[in-house]
Chains A and B, each alone.
Chain A
Amino acid sequence: AQSVTQPDIHITVSEGASLELRCNYSYGATPYLFWYVQSPGQGLQLLLKYFSGDTLVQGIKGFEAEFKRSQSSFNLRKPSVHWSDAAEYFCAVGAGNTGTASKLTFGTGTRLQVTL
């Protein structure tokens, strides 16, 4: 069974500083990997996804993530954080192209606080 670990429950960064949110996954085959953001009272919004190919993927809002198979990681990065980035971030893994339900397994999330 697949699983996702987000080791940091809460991170605080200053506006303009760089950001890295950690994500480790467990899955036997090539996973499909995702990062979502959730603002208070809002639904989950997809930031980026990795299916195959280039291991550095670009997403919306200036975010990027790098898939490292050897470390089973898919860390999310942003060079310069804006106050509006304060939210909850979730990493998720899908079972890949099995031809069946594309259900996701989520991590427990990392809450990002941005100080001015």
Chain B
Amino acid sequence: GAGVSQTPSNKVTEKGKYVELRCDPISGHTALYWYRQSLGQGPEFLIYFQGTGAADDSGLPNDRFFAVRPEGSVSTLKIQRTERGDSAVYLCASSPSEGDYGYTFGSGTRLTVV
């Protein structure tokens, strides 16, 4: 597509529930990134995919967070047993290739855990 698409744009869930956040990158972009932006903060790196594999998941806060990109295009960020502290805007970005800083960011998914 023309840009990076993230769905849903807003998600409200109850504490303890499971959520999935979807990212559709720009067609042909092989690198895909997830960032999390808490209120009043800058985005923080979560995980990076080159193709189908997670090349760097050092930013995932704990094992409740998991992300996949099975066909090297769409990616899903999965959060188990959500906690109120998970409330944030989750941003996805894609770039043409590994090492290319020409990111395009999506508009994000605002997750609220109540």
The residues of A with any CB-CB pair to B shorter than 8 Å are: 4, 32, 34, 41-46, 49, 51, 90, 92, 94, 97-109
The residues of B with any CB-CB pair to A shorter than 8 Å are: 4, 31, 33, 40-45, 48, 50, 55-56, 59, 91, 93, 95, 98-108
Task: State whether A108 touches B45 (Cβ < 8 A).
Answer: no
Given contacts A100-B98, A104-B101, A106-B43, 4 further A-B contacts (CB under 8 A): A43-B106, A100-B56, A102-B99, A103-B45
Residue B99 contacts which of A4, A49, A92, A100 (CB distance < 8 angstroms)?
Answer: A100
Task: State whether A106 touches B48 (Cβ < 8 A).
Answer: no
Q: List the B side residues contacting A106 at CB < 8 Å.
A: 42-44
7 closest pairs, A vs B, by CB? A106-B42, A43-B105, A44-B105, A101-B56, A101-B48, A103-B45, A43-B107
Q: List the B side residues contacting A108 at CB < 8 Å.
A: 40-42
A109-B43 Cα distance, complex, nearest whole Å: 9
Q: List the A side residues contacting B55 at CB < 8 Å.
A: 100-101
Minimum CB–CB distance for A48 against chain B, Å: 12
Q: List the B side residues contacting A49 at CB < 8 Å.
A: 101
Task: State whether A44 touches B91 (Cβ < 8 A).
Answer: yes
Indicate whether A43 sits within 8 Å of B56 (C-beta atoms), given known contacts A108-B41, A109-B42: no
Minimum CB–CB distance for A64 against chain B, Å: 19
A107-B43 Cα distance, complex, nearest whole Å: 8
Task: State whether A102 touches B31 (Cβ < 8 A).
Answer: yes
Indicate whether A103 sits within 8 Å of B56 (C-beta atoms), given known contacts A43-B105, A108-B41: yes
